[in-house]
Amino acid sequence: MSITPRAIYAGSFDPLTYGHLNVIERGARIVGELVVAVARNTSKNGVFSTDERIELIREATQHIDNIRIDAFEGLLVEYARKIDARLLLRGLRSVNDFQYEFQMALTNKELWADIDTVFLATEGKYAHVASSLIREIVAMGGSVRGMVPEHVERKLVEKLAPR
């Protein structure tokens, strides 16, 4: 049995949640190197710039030795091919996530036969946490303590909290 040398955990991470962090920590334990790949998506109006998201992830993951944080644009399989990563790591919160992610895994396999996808079920205490809900809660003046790291919550409040 050989360990997969490099895997990618990709997402927008806008913002990074404890659910994301849980998948990052667990994924890093099962691969040689985990590349946390922040998607540059110019069609979405996110809260944080790509550089800000990278910095927030970097601060939250400084205790993990075998990760690299990077940004990419375009097709994930092309980025994977470019950095020689043949494994995609995806977190699942619900059956609805599985349907979408399974379709994406099959499509990615069609685009590049050498890529595989591994799904990690999110721990139950994070199953309800979604970045879109986090943004909405903060924008309405609510607390997201326990759903995102403290430094992420502070930055969200700076950008979104009602004045």
- 44 catalytically annotated: yes
DSSP assigned state of 122: P
Nearest-angstrom CA–CA distance, 72 and 90: 16
Query: Can the peptide bond before residue 5 be classed as cis, meaning omega within 30 degrees of 0?
Result: no
* Res 76 pLDDT > 80: yes
0.95 exceeded by pTM:
no
Q: Which residue ranges make up each domain of the chain?
A: 6-125
- Write the CB contacts of 26 (distance below 8 Å, at least 6 apart in sequence): 120
Annotated active-site residue in 53, 90, 131, 135? 131
pLDDT (0 to 100) of residue 14: 96
As beta bridge partners, residue 117 has 88
What φ, ψ does residue 109 adopt, rounded to 5°?
-65, -35
Q: How sure is the predictor about 162, in pLDDT bands with cuts at 50, 70 and 90?
A: confident
- 93 catalytically annotated: yes
Annotated active-site residue in 26, 81, 86, 93? 93
Residue range 9-48, pLDDT digits in tens: 999 999 999 999 999 999 999 999 999 999 997 566 789 9
Annotated active-site residue in 44, 82, 125, 128? 44
Q: How many residues does the chain have?
A: 163
DSSP assigned state of 19: H
Q: How sure is the predictor about 1, in pLDDT bands with cuts at 50, 70 and 90?
A: very low
Q: Which CATH class is domain 6-125?
A: alpha beta
- 20 catalytically annotated: yes
- 2 catalytically annotated: no
Amino acid of residue 142 = G
Residue range 105-161, pLDDT digits in tens: 999 999 999 999 999 998 989 999 999 999 999 999 999 999 999 999 999 999 998
